[in-house]
Amino acid sequence: MKLFVISGASRGLGAALTAQLLAQGHRVLGLARRAAPAAPGLVFWSVDLADPLPVAERLQAWLGQQNAAEFDEVVLINNAGVVTEPGPVQGVPLAQLSSALRVGLEATLLLSAAFLAGTRDWAGQKKIVNISSGLGRRAMAAAAPYCAAKAGMDHLSRAMALDEERRPNGARIVSLAPGIIDTDMQVQLRSADPAKFPDQSRFAAFKAEGQLETAEAVATKVLRYLGRADFGSNPVADVRED
């Protein structure tokens, strides 16, 4: 059996990943602010990752209470993220800027550290998937907090992967760009004020031209990538890569 820990599990890609994994008979610990429907195999915590330290401490303790022998693989999927109101940072409330970096990057760091510490002595295979973005690899005006969080996620993954290579049975780590998904984030961007967000028309065109994929389709691709024999050979990758 496999155990998955998924942040942002109640909607979008996180909800689609959770549903597909439960359908395959795996166990899932879901983390999100919004409640998720009860389901066999699902443990759900209603938490706010804008305050990630207590969540990470709880995760590390919870993993220490599990029967590691039950699981031949354990996976953390850091999926939660926040998009602030599009525009230059000086026009975005400071609380929004703080939340975006805490949810998008600090929570990724703390949950990863808790996961690695909590599974240190587990014999099964360990993997971390950090759901990144092409915007972590190229900058875009009016989206600095999101770009920064995803760029930090990419480099964090590179560095953690180097550390894990030095450990017996170290975790395999990949920061994975999932492509363009039709989620609430896309609605927010294509509905933004063009005066504040120069790329608004581009995002509107993604929808109009049918370039967006469903969360369910992308979840299938992410799980397929996770199952690849060479998973972890490139710590920064794209789900659309062969």
The whole-model pTM stands at 0.96
Rounded to whole angstroms, the maximal C-alpha distance in the chain is: 56
* Encoded amino acid at 151, one letter: A
CA-to-CA separations, 110 to 104, 125, 231, in angstroms, rounded: 11, 20, 22
* Separation between Cα atoms, residue 158 and residue 215, nearest integer Å: 26
- Domains of the chain by start residue, with CATH: 2-180+215-238 (3.40.50.720)
71-111 residue pLDDT tens: 999 999 999 999 998 999 999 999 999 999 999 999 999 99
Nearest to 22 by CA among 12, 32, 33, 9: 9
* Separation between Cα atoms, residue 212 and residue 182, nearest integer Å: 5
In the prediction, which pLDDT does 242 show? Answer: 61
In the prediction, which pLDDT does 144 show? Answer: 97
Regions of the chain with pLDDT less than 70: 242
